[in-house]
Amino acid sequence: MAVVTGRRLPLAVWGTGRAIGARCQTAPVAAARTRRWRVVGGLLVDRSTVLLVANRRGAFDRTIGRRNGRLEWTPPGGVVDPGEEPLAALSREVVEETGLIVERWSEVLYRVSVEFPGRDMVLGVDVYRALSWTGEVVLEDPDHIVEDARFVDAEAAGPLLATAPRWVREPVTEWLAGSQAGESEAPEFSYVARGSNSGDLTVERLNPPDG
């Protein structure tokens, strides 16, 4: 990606740094003790560059005119609202975060699951690639979260993605490196994140790559 404040999760679940709540009443996938959140992410690739957005976490501070937390660079994306189709949700999030209008999406490129045992929460992310889009990058995030958005090459993407949660950083980096090329099915990345808050999480990958 919880304090409920819009289509946002308590942790940077898809790197949005957004908690779920205020802007809409987002609900778990299933009503059970373990909450299950459905998230979508989008990869917009232009030639050899990929679009990343800078998300500022924390609460909005009127004295400085922005949120007061750390900055995390991730692809655009967010939570699927109840009754919303995943690709409709993703298109909406891309418009809100970047101003770009995606016309066509691929099938799922890869999936990510993250279990938070300390919070009785499971995060499921489906990631797609934009096949065509229109417009120019415009930053008008009403929630004051997205501060920047740019297309960067793989070399420049590395240091930026290093600011993102591991479950965002590793799958994107491996996809950009072409390690998933030739897969007949969408690969899955599985993690467990132990800890009571985002500042002290210990993240373990359950299916590390061979070698």
The amino acid sitting at 198 is: S
Q: What is the pLDDT of residue 163?
A: 94
Q: What percent of the chain has pLDDT over 70?
A: 76
Rounded CA gap, 133 and 19, in Å?
27
pLDDT given at position 24: 36
Which tokens is 97 given? 């975060």
Domain assignment present for residue 39? The answer is yes
**AA identity, residue 109:** L
94-103, 175-184, 187-196: which has the minimum mean pLDDT? 175-184
The domain that holds 41 is classified in CATH as 3.90.79.10
Question: What six digits make up the tokens of 142?
Answer: 């009403």
Q: Which domain holds residue 164?
A: 7-205
Query: For residue 72, which of 161, 201, 176 has the smallest C-alpha distance?
Result: 161
**Does 211 map to a domain?**
no
Mean of all residue pLDDT scores within the chain:
82
Read off the pLDDT of residues 147-160 as tens digits, 9 standing for 90 and up: 999 999 999 999 99
CA 1/CA 10 separation, integer angstroms = 7
Residue 157 lies in a domain: yes
- Domain for residue 148, yes or no? yes
Could you report how far apart the first and last alpha carbons of the chain are, in Å?
Answer: 29
In a domain, 83, yes or no: yes
Q: Does residue 74 lie in a domain region?
A: yes
Tens-place pLDDT, residues 102-130: 999 999 999 999 999 988 899 999 999 99
Distance, CA of 64 to CA of 136 (rounded, Å)? 27
Condensed to tens digits (0 to 9), the pLDDT of residues 64-76 reads 455 557 889 999 9
Q: Which residues contact 24 (CB under 8 A, 6 or more apart)?
A: 6, 7, 81
Total number of domains constituting the chain: 1
Total-model pTM: 0.82
**Sign of the alpha-carbon torsion through 15, 76, 120, 113:** negative
